[in-house]
Structure 1
Amino acid sequence: MSFDNTPLAGKAGIDESVPSRYAVQVGDIDVMVISDGVLTPPAESMATNADPAIRGAWLDERLLAHDAFDWPLNAVVVRIGDQTILIDSGIGEEYPDFPRAGQLGHRLKAAGVDLAAVTDVVLTHMHFDHVGGLLVDGVKDQLRPDLRIHVSAAEAEFWKAPDFSRTGMPPELAELARRASLQFLDEYRSQLHTFDQESEVAPGIVVTRTGGHTPGHSVVRMASGGERLMFGGDAIFPVSFEHPEWHNGFEHDPEEATRVRLRLMRELAETGSWLVSTHIPFPSVGRVAAHGDLFRWVPAWWDY
């Protein structure tokens, strides 16, 4: 079964005034980006080590406010052969401070994606806005008992006793992240398929640990028919192309996270691979181009 960008009869999310899913083809691999909505953390959280004046100028150039910054929240559904793979699960529904997010459940239904058909889940990492969708009441009951959840062993180990000392997360968000990760481990431990550095989830779909953002943060690379796509998780943000040195407040090892995103952006620029990332504006499909010593984000032209 392949995806398309047309609404399903009777399931079209007619109460929404904006699109929330976008499908692309990577050779024989069907990829659908689905928006879980928008988070709105403080604007300084995207560049905790930046000079406030330079950060403010970056925001001004884009006509953005200085107090808060909209972070899109994207997940991906992949189909190949008899596998349906969900990459990350959004934030869930238990966070009143983020009322514009937590949309993934009904948007999956609108896209015709049945949770019972999901054979695999890949988690780039275990922050609450990536595991929260699996913690929504009733979701686990809809999932297959033989569901495979792929996450790096380092990530699962880290969240048993997480260290937030190098992040810029306020205490309430750190506690939220700690609580969500422990709940996830408690509920899904028996379904975890952990890996050390790399694992092939399906033909042409490989998840690889990068570290940086969290100790076990991973990216997913897809390759088929000469086409490539990388799901970058939280390795690359909207500010990363011009300011890869800016630290994100949610990074547990900011210096390593900088090295990771530079390495990944060089790879993307050299290979011409498509990039989809969690917090790049929906549909978050584009390519990375070299721009002197830095980079440019080149969004895809929408295929109507």
Structure 2
Amino acid sequence: MTVDTISHPGKPAKDELVPSRYAVRVGEIEVLVISDGVLPLPTTMLAHNADPAVRAAWLNDMFLPPDAFDWSLNVVVVHSGEQTILIDAGLGLDPNLNLPRAGQLIKRLEAAGIDLASVTDVVLTHMHMDHIGGLLVDGVKDRLRPDLRIHVAAAEVKFWEAPDFTHVSMPPGFPDALRLAAKRFAKEYGSQLRLFDDEYEVAPGVVVHRTGGHTPGHSVVRLASGGDRLTFAGDAVFTVGFDHPDWFNGFEHDPEEAARVRIRLLQELAATGEQLVATHLPFPSVGRVAVDGDAFRWVPAFWDY
């Protein structure tokens, strides 16, 4: 996999009306952001601790609909040295949730010319189903390498043995779907899990750090090479989190800690000027963070063709 070959692997599918992959280079590390589609959710999910009028005003200021918001689903493929690393695996295809615009990862990997058998490592920022579901799609496991290594925080695996949903604010059906997906994933891929406590170097310049907050084992992945840096923040940062980093997202299992993690991370990214990619920022989700008074400002990257 090279930036040149994945940037122009062939003609897009006829039904693909928007771009779904974007290549970035971080020093000698090659990065490909791939859209897994979008996940429509109620806007209360953005901030269930916010005043409804203030939340509505933010949506209006962003020219977003008041009731339902399309969350982007972004996955990253990293090539460092001899390793090809998939960071998160998208939503997959859960027929009980009726989410036809999500779960696009596998076909988009194929469209980008990436063979599943070439993936040497998977890093999971956490085990919510929109980060592991792509590996649960029928037939996918058979196409993966038998020696595939799946890196995830030990605290995350422990949490899903008896998950606590007392502080979340999710639509009906989601807690059960999350439990079932995590249980199935642990059963199918348990022998390939490589657990770490707080930090682990997956490949040269590719380090995963546990942050906690969103889930106890939630992690971010930091890329560094040749003076360039990029952080894949998973679910530590959401679109509304720049203007209102103290708003609680409905999927956060410890929302107060998640807010503290988000603020620390945004402060660090603003100080270093490094690039940021996150699961639920609008595709391609590549940009930087600036301080804006008591909050922050998202600065999208200019697309490089």
TM-score of Structure 1 vs Structure 2, range by shorter chain: over 0.9
Equivalence for 2:78: 78
Give 1:107's aligned amino acid: R
Gaps of 5+ in 1: none
Distance across 2 between alignment mates of 1:120 and 1:16: 28
What residue number does 1:59 align with? Answer: 59
Preserved CA contact (<8 Å) 1:169 1:250: yes
Q: Does 1:224 align with 2:252?
A: no
**What code does the residue aligned with 2:53 have?**
A
5+ residue gaps, structure 2, are: none
Paired residues of 1:116 and 1:144 also in contact (CA < 8 A) = yes
Structure 2 equivalent of residue 250 of structure 1: 251
Q: Structure 1, residues 120-159: CA drift from partner, whole Å, max 9, x if none?
A: 0000000010000000000000000000000000000100
One-letter amino acid of the structure 2 residue matched with residue 38 of structure 1? V
TM-score by length of 1: 0.98
**2:32 match: secondary structure:** strand
Name segments (4+ residues, structure 1) moved above 2 Å.
4-7, 11-15
Q: Residues 13 and 107 of structure 1 are in contact (CA less than 8 Å); yes or no, is this contact kept in structure 2?
A: no
TM-score normalized by structure 2? 0.97
Residues 104-143 of structure 1 mapped to structure 2, 5 A cutoff: 104-143=105-144
Distance in 1, matches of 2:261 and 2:111, equals: 35
Shift of 1:8: 1.7
Cα contact 1:72–1:281 (8 A) shared by 2? yes
8 A Cα contact 1:152 1:197, kept in partner: yes
SS in 2 for 1:239: helix
Q: Which amino acid aligns with 1:29?
A: I
For residues 12-91 of structure 1, what are the structure 2 equivalents within 5 Å? 12-91=12-91
Secondary structure in structure 1 of the residue aligned to 2:241: coil
SS in structure 1 of the partner of residue 109 of structure 2: helix
Deviations 1:225-271 (A, max 9, x none): 10000000000000000100100000000000000000000110011
Partner of 2:264: 263
Output aligned runs, 1:200-219, within 5 Å: 200-219=201-220
The amino acid across from 1:144 in the alignment is R
Deviations 1:57-80 (A, max 9, x none): 000111111111110000000001
Give the superposition deviation at 1:15: 2.7
1:296 alignment partner in structure 2: 297
Q: Does residue 2 of the first structure (1) align with residue 2 of the second (2)? A: yes
How far residue 3 of structure 1 moved from its aligned partner, in angstroms, is 1.8
CA contact (8 A) 2:7 2:22 kept: no
Separation in 2 of the partners of 1:106 and 1:97? 18
Provide the residue aligned with 2:173 in structure 1.
172
**Shift of residue 171, structure 1, vs aligned partner:** 4.0
SS of equivalent residue, structure 2 residue 92 = coil
**Whole-Å separation in 2 of the counterparts to 1:212 and 1:291:** 24
Question: Residue 56 of structure 2: SS of its match in structure 1?
Answer: helix
How far apart, in 1, do the equivalents of 2:190 and 2:27 lie? 33
2:235 is paired with a residue whose SS is coil
Secondary structure at the aligned position of 1:40 is classed as: strand
Structure 1 position 13, deviation (Å): 2.5
CA distance in 2, matches of 1:236, 1:169: 18
Displacement of 1:14: 3.5
Given residue 162 of structure 1, which amino acid in structure 2 is its aligned partner? P
The aligned counterpart of 1:198 is: 199
Number of the residue aligned with 1:188? 189
How high is the sequence identity, in percent, across the aligned residues? Answer: 67
1:241 counterpart letter in structure 2: F
Equivalent residue of 2:3, what SS? coil
SS at 2:16's partner residue?
A: coil
